[in-house]
């Protein structure tokens, strides 16, 4: 029967061309939508790598009268002591402005013996940063006081950067080069002292990016005017107001206090916008395709009443006629899917958008299943109608 | 072969009730070639459809080979038609998108036989109707007479015991009509097929064993024209 259906469709290829094209385009749109959905889902399933609950971010500007590093450090120490004296604050860390879920980035290029150049995020942190965010060490250790006096500055890598730079080889004790932007040359500047679990700093749906954590040196506090505060659970608006006043009184500048949890939600919403747009566009297209498909199948049945009557006369039962029409629609969709899959397979083969191949494979499979389901559902009712055609009437009409 | 007992067929709409067949009783013997004549709208095709199990009578019984067909399910009726009955229509009812050979193979698709066997049987049927040189043609490339030959090949490919022909020469000129009639006579005489033919053509009807005339849904005449095994 399959051969018969194929012959029937092949001999009507001109009439079926538009329908196949419609299914082909729908497949590609679905492939794009599912690629995004699968990619986001895969990212979402990965562990956060840190605890963002009850972590607040305070940004301030260093008072202008503080000229030397020493005066800046003294001011920061006073600020730290003042904040630590508040019972609601469990821990705090001065850090660069590219805190998790922020819109700021800070990048650099590093090199190892295996890899000449890897672009990565760089985070300026203090020893307490790890405890504020409850970061998990995978290898080695986190920073300690006094680390910054070493000749090669100690750095901690996240797992992604470690794999990019060293693959499966151990990273501890290895030297890293950093690009000198004036000369374009890589100079040995860092020594790896630890590796931490990947942190989803860009949101739940975004891919994990490589990152290197560098202990803040004596002049670092001049430029890094962001504080991460781990507060007691239940710290409320009244405390936030007191915190604001304390910081404002000390710095004499404008203060901004944000909650990491809220920043995460905002970041996630932003990430979902393109997917939601694609889902809406894809949804409309699918409704269009479904209606078109339904209409074409319905029209075909009315056009083929004589043929249906004949088939019934020569031995096809109602269900056989229904199955044939659904089968024809499925063969048509198979043709469209073969062509569509050919194009879709090029994405993982050519590493388009640099997404993992598993994303594309899953998206292709999902799009195929969806198209088959859509075609099946659209063909079901016209198929039933065809089965109900009374052979004597249909043959007489012809 | 076929027994029709008190067949009545009524078509109903919201406002009108039309009696298409009224108390038809007919026995058709195996190997008989029977023709049905009557003016347009007298119920000839309705009667043929009821014999072919394409339509159900409003009342009465249809027995084929002694088997009661009134209460058969849709699937059982389809199987019955496929195994026992071959249809020939005035307008041929060929599928234009399929080649001649594929058209002839159609009834065999609904039987559990291999593709190879299907093709062999279809070729055999086409040889029988003298169209072995047109197997790869599409229906649109054939003359009316050739199309009807294809339809006959399709009707006989499954070796049915009964062939029902609804004005098989109605769309053909007299020469082609005669050719088709000769073919049907051959099928009846040589292969022993039972044939029931609806026709408007008295000349064609006179070539058959028996003629039944209908008028306004009633059987008005039934007489033998020539002995069955002459």
How much of chain B exceeds pLDDT 90, in percent?
43
Which residue's structure tokens are 């919403």?
A269
- Alpha helix ranges (H) inside chain B: 44-51, 74-84, 100-109, 115-128, 144-156, 174-190, 202-205
Helix A357-387 to helix A13-45 angle, to the nearest 10 degrees?
130
Closest CA to A124 of A155, A101, A159, A90: A155
Distance from CA of A386 to the nearest CA of B (A): 14
Distance CA A247, CA A156 (A): 30
B220 in contact with A at a CB cutoff of 8 Å?
no
Do A216 and A143 touch, CB atoms closer than 8 A?
no
CB-CB neighbors (< 8 A) of B138 in chain A: 11
Each residue of B199-219: pLDDT tens digit? 988 888 998 999 999 998 888
* pLDDT the model gives residue A131: 94
- Cβ contact (<8 Å) for B78 and A316? yes
Residue of higher predicted confidence among A57 and A299: A57
A254 pLDDT tier (thresholds 50, 70, 90): confident
* Domain containing residue B170: CATH number: 3.40.50.300
* pLDDT the model gives residue A162: 93
CB-CB neighbors (< 8 A) of A315 in chain B: 78-79, 81-83, 107, 110-111, 158
Each residue of B28-48: pLDDT tens digit? 998 999 999 999 888 888 999
Q: Which of A1, A313, A390 should we substitute to test contact with B (largest number of B Cβ atoms within 10 Å)?
A: A313
- The residue count of chain B comes to 230
* pLDDT the model gives residue B229: 59
Residues 6+ positions from A165 with CB-CB distance below 8 Å: A110, A111, A112, A114, A115, A118, A157, A171, A176
Domain span at B113: 2-224
Each residue of A241-253: pLDDT tens digit? 999 999 988 887 7
CB-CB neighbors (< 8 A) of B91 in chain A: 398
User: Which residues is B221 bridged to in the sheet?
Assistant: B213
* pLDDT the model gives residue A398: 59
Q: Is the pLDDT of residue B2 over 80?
A: yes
Distance CA A305, CA B92 (A): 14
Distance CA A306, CA A185 (A): 80
Distance CA A165, CA A110 (A): 9
Mean pLDDT over B166-189 rounds to: 86
* Least reliable range by pLDDT among A11-15, A120-124, A342-346, B39-43: A11-15
Mean pLDDT over A326-334 rounds to: 91
A4 pLDDT tier (thresholds 50, 70, 90): confident
B230 occurs within a structural domain: no
- Cβ contact (<8 Å) for A315 and B107? yes
Distance from CA of A331 to the nearest CA of B (A): 16
How much of chain A exceeds pLDDT 90, in percent?
50
* Least reliable range by pLDDT among A182-186, A303-307, B81-85: A182-186
Measured at the alpha carbon of residue A291, what is the angle toward residues A285 and A293, in degrees to the nearest 5? 100
User: Which residues is B61 bridged to in the sheet?
Assistant: B5
Q: Which residue of A has its CA nearest to B97?
A: A11
Mean pLDDT over A381-391 rounds to: 88
B87 in contact with A at a CB cutoff of 8 Å?
yes
Q: Is the pLDDT of residue A256 over 80?
A: yes
Residues 6+ positions from A68 with CB-CB distance below 8 Å: none
Average pLDDT, chain A: 89
Closest CA to A388 of A331, A329, A294, A305: A305
Q: How many domains does chain B have?
A: 1
Mean pLDDT over A95-115 rounds to: 88
* pLDDT the model gives residue B122: 94
How much of chain B exceeds pLDDT 70, in percent?
99
Q: Which residue of B has its CA nearest to A1?
A: B109
B229 occurs within a structural domain: no
Closest CA to B132 of B144, B122, B142, B140: B122
Do A231 and A55 touch, CB atoms closer than 8 A?
yes
- Cβ contact (<8 Å) for B78 and A8? no
Do A35 and A359 touch, CB atoms closer than 8 A?
yes
Which residue's structure tokens are 């998790």?
A100
* pLDDT the model gives residue A297: 84
CB-CB neighbors (< 8 A) of A390 in chain B: 55
CB-CB neighbors (< 8 A) of B153 in chain A: none
Each residue of A178-192: pLDDT tens digit? 887 777 777 878 899
Distance CA B149, CA B145 (A): 6
Residues 6+ positions from A76 with CB-CB distance below 8 Å: A94, A221
Residues 6+ positions from B102 with CB-CB distance below 8 Å: A4, A7, B95
Do A121 and A97 touch, CB atoms closer than 8 A?
no
Q: Which two tokens stand for residue B175?
A: 């020469």
* Least reliable range by pLDDT among B28-42, B106-120, B171-185: B171-185
């Amino acid at each position: 029967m399959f051969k018969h259906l194929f012959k029937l469709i092949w001999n009507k290829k001109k009439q079926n061309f538009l329908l196949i094209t419609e299914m082909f385009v729908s497949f590609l749109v679905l492939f794009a939508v599912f690629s995004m959905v699968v990619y986001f889902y895969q990212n979402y399933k990965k562990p956060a790598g840190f605890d963002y609950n009850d972590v607040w971010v305070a940004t301030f500007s260093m008072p202008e009268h503080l000229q030397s590093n020493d005066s800046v450090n003294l001011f920061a120490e006073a600020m730290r002591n003042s904040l630590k004296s508040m019972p609601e604050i469990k821990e705090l860390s001065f850090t660069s402005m590219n805190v998790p879920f922020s819109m700021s980035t800070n990048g650099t290029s590093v090199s190892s013996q295996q890899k000449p150049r890897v672009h990565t995020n760089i985070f300026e942190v203090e020893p307490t940063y790890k405890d504020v965010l409850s970061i998990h060490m995978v290898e080695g250790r986190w920073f300690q006081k006094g680390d910054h006096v070493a000749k090669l500055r100690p750095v901690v890598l996240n797992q992604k950067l470690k794999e990019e730079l060293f693959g499966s080889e151990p990273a501890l004790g290895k030297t890293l080069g950093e690009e000198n932007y004036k000369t374009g040359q890589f100079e040995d500047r860092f020594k790896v002292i630890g590796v931490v679990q990947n942190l989803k700093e860009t949101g739940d749906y975004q891919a994990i990016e490589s990152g290197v954590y560098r202990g803040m040196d004596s002049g670092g506090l001049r430029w890094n005017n962001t504080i991460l505060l781990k507060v007691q659970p239940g710290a409320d608006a009244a405390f936030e107001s007191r915190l604001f006043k304390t910081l404002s009184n000390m710095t004499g500048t404008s203060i901004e206090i944000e909650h990491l949890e809220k920043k995460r939600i905002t970041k996630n919403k932003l990430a979902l916008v393109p997917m939601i747009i694609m889902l809406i566009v894809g949804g409309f297209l699918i409704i269009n395709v479904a209606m078109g498909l339904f209409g074409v199948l319905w029209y075909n049945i009315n056009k083929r009443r004589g043929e249906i009557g004949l088939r019934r006369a020569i031995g096809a039962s109602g269900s056989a006629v229904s199955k044939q029409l659904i089968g024809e629609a499925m063969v048509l969709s198979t043709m469209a899917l073969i062509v569509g899959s050919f194009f879709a397979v090029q994405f993982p083969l050519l590493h388009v958008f640099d997404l993992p191949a598993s994303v594309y494979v899953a998206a292709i499979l999902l799009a195929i299943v969806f198209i088959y389901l859509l075609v099946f559902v659209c063909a079901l009712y016209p198929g039933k109608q065809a089965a109900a055609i009374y052979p004597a009437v249909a043959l007489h009409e012809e | 072969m076929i027994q029709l007992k008190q067949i009545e067929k009524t078509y109903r709409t919201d406002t009108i009730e039309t009696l298409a067949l009224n108390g038809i009783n007919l026995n058709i013997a195996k190997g008989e070639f029977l023709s049905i004549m009557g003016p347009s709208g007298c119920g000839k095709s309705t009667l043929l459809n009821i014999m072919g199990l394409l339509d159900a009578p409003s009342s009465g019984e249809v027995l084929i080979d002694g088997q009661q067909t009134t209460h058969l399910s849709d699937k059982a009726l389809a199987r019955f038609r496929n195994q026992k009955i071959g249809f020939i229509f005035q307008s041929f009812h060929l599928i234009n998108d399929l080649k001649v050979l594929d058209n002839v193979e159609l009834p065999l698709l609904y039987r559990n036989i291999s593709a190879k066997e299907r093709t062999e049987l279809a070729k055999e049927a086409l040889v029988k109707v003298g169209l072995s040189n047109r197997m790869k043609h599409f229906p649109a490339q054939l003359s009316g007479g050739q199309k009807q030959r294809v339809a006959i090949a399709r009707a006989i490919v499954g070796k049915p015991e009964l062939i029902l022909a609804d004005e098989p020469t109605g769309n053909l000129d007299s020469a082609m009509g005669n050719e088709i009639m000769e073919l049907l006579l051959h099928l009846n005489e040589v292969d022993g097929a039972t044939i029931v033919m609806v026709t408007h053509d008295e000349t064609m009807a006179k070539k058959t064993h028996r003629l039944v005339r209908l008028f306004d849904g009633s059987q008005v005449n039934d007489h033998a024209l020539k002995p069955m095994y002459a």
